[in-house]
Chains A and B, each alone.
Chain A
Amino acid sequence: MRRFLLIAIPYAWLLALFLVPFVIVLKISLSDTALAIPPYTPTLDFAGGWAGLKSFFADLDLENFVWLTQDDLYWKAYLSSLTIALISTVLTLMVGYPIAYGMARAPEEWRATLMMLIILPFWTSFLIRVYSWIGILSQEGFLNQFLLWTGLISEPLIILNTKIAVYIGIVYTYLPFMILPIYAALDRLDESLIEAAEDLGCSRLSAFWLVTVPLSKNGIVAGCFLVFIPALGEFVIPSLLGGSGTLMIGKVLWEEFFSNRDWPVASAVAIVLLLILVVPIMLFQRNQQKQAEAEQ
């Protein structure tokens, strides 16, 4: 009995508040938009009995999904989300790897402090960290003031409300997710392997490329997925830093729901986004499993 309750309580909670809502999204994505409350038809009417149920299913169709392919806004938004997520993942890797590498080579007694300094921003409000860049990147912001003062530029650069600001925002906020798995992989790396490579005639650089990088592959892969997956559905960063010109699917979904009040289309957008995410998530899981097996 006790075992049953132990399983049943969290199970029931997740069924009611995760699975059922998800099924509702799926159902509404197949419904039609209507000027009613709630703004879609058909609504499931149990009073109609079997016939009601049958006509309910007969009324569902893929119209909203067809609509997504016809209006360029949507596929452009998906495409631009994918490219933005991809480019920022590569940039985060390029910024994060040297930091993780430096941490792994730092003296033992510094490590705990360096680790704390990486984790600290992670606990700080995401919204505040994104917000802090508005004052830096705007036309009269600190970056432009600084560059004008050094004389490198004569006109202020326009960075805020462009894609570049979105890249900076994603790299900045997701950097700890990239650094931590890479650091974990580099920390486990056996130093003598690099010494062996150097003894066998490798230069330091080629020992790095031929030994260190391949051995930290699992950390790199894990870090990339941890950045790519959330970046794809990101809403806060494009809406605060990207301006109206940056299309990202999280923002489109938000606007479809809150501004246009088109629930069926918003639901269809959500379903397609999930279908796109399934591939990277499966790959990520496989990588994690392989890593767990390798450790045993």
Chain B
Amino acid sequence: MRRLSWFNTVSLTLGFAFLYIPMVILIIYSFNESKLVTVWAGFSTKWYGELLQDEAFLSAAWVTLKVAVMSSTIATVLGTMAAYVMVRSGRFLGRTLFSGMIYAPLVMPEVITGLSLLLLFIGIGLDRGVFTIVLAHTTFAMCYVSVVVSSRLVTFDKSLEEAALDLGCTPAEAFRLVTLPIIAPAVISGWLLAFTLSLDDLVIASFTSGPSATTLPIKIFSAVRLGVSPEINALSTVMIGIVAIGVITASLVTKTQKVRQQRDEQEAARAQ
């Protein structure tokens, strides 16, 4: 076993303190009685109550959720298709352009993606609202999904698919019965990534949304510009809580899966 020097211990402690203290402060002060956010005036959950009664926030949350579910689902389908094409289709006309268009949005500054999509929507006379945000989010999220899925497809043993085809599967059946179950974890993490990216996005949504559709980040941003407010702290706490539960569950699931896999392998080895 490696040992941690005092330097390692100090840097890990300070590093994680730096990462977590701001969020901890945010969570603690969301339970503050006072409207003044930097002065502690006793425990209270009243800001959560106010949050639940704030129509504007609730409707923004609903719009955000709708956009995230729709865009991440379409992005997962398109991104998986794109990954499959990139890894399996060999050469075809315009392949370089295709791979360029998949990688470029990953490094494109959000302000430029937002601006260019807005100019397109205005150019073709599309009314801006939920639909245009979904189009915009799908476009950049599908690129992330395709990167995640193709990294799994690259390591995937092609002969399994070929065996299925030899045994009489149609290509569609081979994909559904063999390929999809194997790449499923990557597809799911691609969907989760697309979903979070969409929930989180402020810049592209600001460009592509109209007055009829305000997402939660747009709402938070305009509130935050006026300074810190306990209501935003309460909302942040709720969001951090949801993410924390999600991430911890996911890592526990992968851990138990790993343990089970190891046990299965050991048993298989013993049986031989």
Residues of A within 8 A of B (CB): 2-3, 6-7, 9-11, 13-15, 17-22, 24-25, 28, 38, 95, 98-99, 101-103, 105-108, 112, 114, 116-121, 123-129, 131-136, 138, 140-142, 145, 172, 175, 191, 229-230, 232-236, 239-240, 250, 253-254, 257, 263, 266-267, 270, 273-274, 277, 281, 284
Is there a chain A Cβ closer than 8 Å to B167's Cβ? no
Is B82 a contact partner of A10 (Cβ separation < 8 A)?
yes
Q: CB-CB < 8 A to A274: which residues of B?
A: 108-109, 112
Chain B residues, Cβ within 8 Å of A22 = 116
* Chain A residue at smallest Cβ distance from B94: A11
Distance in Å: Cβ of B247 to nearest Cβ of chain A: 5
Contacts of B12 in A (CB 8 A): 99, 102-103, 106, 114
The proximity string for B residues 125-169 relative to A, scoring 1 for CB distances below 8 Å and 0 otherwise, is 000000000011011001000100000000000000000000000
A127–B9 touching, CB < 8 Å: no
Closest to B236 in A: A128
| A38 / chain B contacts, CB cutoff of 8 Å | 122-123
Bound: A114/B15 CA distance, A: 11
Contact check: which of A10, A116, A191, A257 meets B2 at CB < 8 Å?
A191
Q: With A24-B119, A129-B23 as given contacts, are A105 and B2 in contact (CB-CB < 8 Å)?
A: yes
Docked-complex contact B102 and A14, CB < 8 angstroms? yes
**In contact, B25 and A142 (Cβ under 8 angstroms):** yes
**Interface stretch (choices B43-51, B53-61, B197-205, B264-272):** B197-205
- The distance in angstroms between the C-alpha atoms of A114 and B79, with both chains bound, is 30
A residues less than 8 Å from B92 (CB atoms): 7
Instruction: Name B19's closest neighbour in chain A (CB-CB).
Output: A121
A25 proximity list for chain B (CB < 8 A): 112, 115-116, 119
Whether B7 and A98, one on each chain, are in contact in the complex, defined by CB atoms closer than 8 angstroms, is yes
Contact of B15 among A2, A102, A138 (CB under 8 A): A102
Chain B residues in 8 Å Cβ range of A191: 2
User: What's the tally of chain B residues with a CB closer than 8 Å to chain A?
Assistant: 82
Within 8 Å CB of B232, what residues of A?
Answer: 131
Please report the C-alpha to C-alpha distance between residue A250 and residue B108 in the assembled complex, in whole angstroms: 12
Distance between B2 CB and nearest chain A CB, rounded to angstroms: 5
Q: Does A235 lie within 8 Å of B111, measured CB to CB?
A: yes
Contacts of B177 in A (CB 8 A): none
A158 to B200 alpha-carbon distance, docked (Å): 29
**B181 on the interface (CB 8 Å rule)?**
no
B217 CB → nearest A CB, Å: 5
**Of A2, A135, A142, A235, the contact of B110 (CB 8 Å cutoff):** A235
B7–A132 contact, CB under 8 A? no
Chain B residues positioned under 8 Å from A273 (CB to CB):
109, 112
With A13-B142, A98-B7, A250-B111 known as contacts, the answer to whether A120 contacts B120 (CB < 8 A) is no
Interchain CB contact under 8 A, A14 and B117 = no
Question: Chain B 175-210 against A: per-residue CB contact (8 Å), 1 yes, 0 no?
Answer: 000000000000000000000100110110001000
**B218 nearest CB neighbor, chain A only:** A127
Whether B102 pairs with A17 at a CB distance below 8 angstroms is: no
Closest to A254 in B: B111
The residue in B1, B9, B38, B220 that gathers the most chain A C-beta atoms within 10 A of its C-beta is: B38
Given A17-B120, A117-B16, the answer on whether A123 and B247 have CB atoms closer than 8 Å is yes
Q: Tell me if B52 counts as interface (CB < 8 A to partner A).
A: no
6 of the cross-chain contacts (CB-CB < 8 Å) are: A28-B119, A98-B7, A126-B200, A230-B107, A233-B111, A267-B119
Q: How far is the CB of A7 from chain B (nearest CB, A)?
A: 5
Asked if A123 contacts B196 (CB within 8 A), the reply is yes
CB-defined contacts of B200 to chain A, threshold 8 Å: 125-127
Separation of A202 and B129 alpha carbons in the complex (Å): 64
* B85 located at the interface, meaning its Cβ lies under 8 Å from any Cβ of chain A in the complex: yes
- Chain B residue at smallest Cβ distance from A281: B107
Closest residue to B3 on the A side, CB-wise? A105
Indicate which residue in B8, B18, B84 contacts A6 across the interface (CB closer than 8 Å): B84
Q: Within 8 Å of chain A (Cβ to Cβ): is B42?
A: no
Give the residues from 8 to 35 in chain B that come closer than 8 angstroms, CB to CB, to chain A: 8-9, 11-12, 15-16, 18-20, 22-23, 25-26, 29
Known contacts A28-B119, A250-B109; 6 further A-B pairs (Cβ under 8 A): A2-B171, A17-B139, A105-B5, A124-B243, A127-B220, A274-B109
Checking B11, B22, B122, B203 against A132 with a beta-carbon cut-off of 8 angstroms, the contacting residue is B22
Decide if A129 touches B7 in the complex (CB within 8 Å): no
Say whether, besides A17-B117, A132-B26, A2 and B172 are in contact (CB < 8 Å). Answer: yes
CB of B98 within 8 Å of the partner chain: yes
In the complex, what residues of A have CB within 8 A of residue B255's CB? 112
Cβ 8 A contact of A20, one of B18, B120, B225: B120
Chain A contacts for B136, CB-based, 8 A: 17
Contact B15 A21 (CB under 8 A): no
A270 vs B5: C-alpha distance when bound (angstroms)? 47
